[in-house]
Structure 1
Amino acid sequence: MSRIRQFRWSDYEAVAEVWRAAGTDVVGRAELEAKLTRDPELFLVAEAPAGPRGIGGAVMGTFDGRRGWIFRLAVHPAHRRGGMATGLVAELEQRLTNLGCPRINLLVLPDNEAGLRFWQRLGYLPCPDVLFTKPLATSPSS
């Protein structure tokens, strides 16, 4: 089993490689820095015995005091089907529980059949909610 621990800035390039290999957009340093000022203990990495810089997977969580959210669960294709994603989620759930979080939400695109099956296997239930989003203008330094 992989060792799961809190993200460190020295992990950034390895995590970015995991995101790229998994087909996910890379979170920029400025955005990530803002996230880490709030709840750094909820950004986790899974160390892998072999692989890019020893990081095989990552997950970001957040807690606003009412609900927890899971974002950016990604496992490098070379490390899939070994329990890494399940371990990352279990550790994040435990940390959210320790913070008093009563419910966790996450988003999965409807055409991501493997993702839908994964989350349902872990006990997450689909909701018929309608998602709304509004991009906000960001400063040029972002």
Structure 2
Amino acid sequence: MIRTFAPGDLPEVLDVWRAGGRDPLPAAELDAVAANAPDLLLVADEPGAGVVGVVVGTTDARRGWIHRLAVLPAHRRRGLAGALVAELERRFAARGLTRVNLLVLPGDEDAQRFWARRGYASCPDVLRTRDLA
């Protein structure tokens, strides 16, 4: 079942990210998403297993952004990642957003294929970033 994140899900969400080899989203960032757009923080919850997948969505004035999609390794290839993305896209569309962006590491071939199958095109934009603190 895909549902909105609840505060009690946090330990399991952190476990999902760690199991996928990713650093957890910093607590302050997760709190900001949960406070500003709680409906865009979704989990896949399976009976008897608990939270097995997570995706974080944010928005700017024009676009939705997908961050931190992860599913526990033992629960992959069952359609959960696609279901999380589809529900997040539905929620973006309900807000009137018409474009969704995300970042994928260039060497992550599995992720590249996953997003391409869902119609996400590569773009030649160059990301630049700067820490302010």
Aligned-pair RMSD on alpha carbons?
0.9
Please, which of 14, 20, 38 is the counterpart of residue 18 of structure 2?
20
1:136: Cα distance to partner?
1.6
What is the CA–CA distance in structure 2 between the aligned matches of 1:85 and 1:135, rounded to whole Å?
Answer: 30
The one-letter amino acid of 1:71's match is H
1:135: Cα distance to partner?
1.2
Q: Secondary structure at the match of 1:129?
A: coil
1:72: Cα distance to partner?
0.2
The one-letter amino acid of 1:7's match is F
What is the CA–CA distance in structure 2 between the aligned matches of 1:34 and 1:63, rounded to whole Å?
Answer: 12
User: Within the alignment, does 1:62 sit opposite 2:69 as a pair?
Assistant: no
Q: Secondary structure at the match of 2:110?
A: helix
Between 58-67 and 73-82, report the one with greater CA deviation.
58-67
* Residue correspondences, number: 133
What is the CA–CA distance in structure 1 between the aligned matches of 2:48 and 2:109, rounded to whole Å?
Answer: 28
The one-letter amino acid of 2:103's match is L
Give per-residue Cα distances to partners, 1:10-58, cap 9 Å, x unaligned. Answer: 000000000000111112322211222211100000012343xx01100
Give per-residue Cα distances to partners, 1:91-111, cap 9 Å, x unaligned. Answer: 000000000001000000000
What is the CA–CA distance in structure 2 between the aligned matches of 1:77 and 1:6, rounded to whole Å?
Answer: 21
Unaligned stretches of 5+ in structure 1? 138-142
Unaligned stretches of 5+ in structure 2? none
What TM-score, normalized to structure 1?
A: 0.91
Identify the residue that residue 113 of structure 1 maps to in structure 2.
Answer: 109
Please, which of 59, 63, 69 is the counterpart of residue 73 of structure 1?
69
What is the CA–CA distance in structure 2 between the aligned matches of 1:126 and 1:114, rounded to whole Å?
Answer: 14
The one-letter amino acid of 1:97's match is A
User: Within the alignment, does 1:45 sit opposite 2:4 as a pair?
Assistant: no
What is the CA–CA distance in structure 1 between the aligned matches of 2:21 and 2:88, rounded to whole Å?
Answer: 22
Please, which of 106, 118, 121 is the counterpart of residue 122 of structure 1?
118
What TM-score, normalized to structure 2?
A: 0.96
Identify the residue that residue 36 of structure 1 maps to in structure 2.
Answer: 34
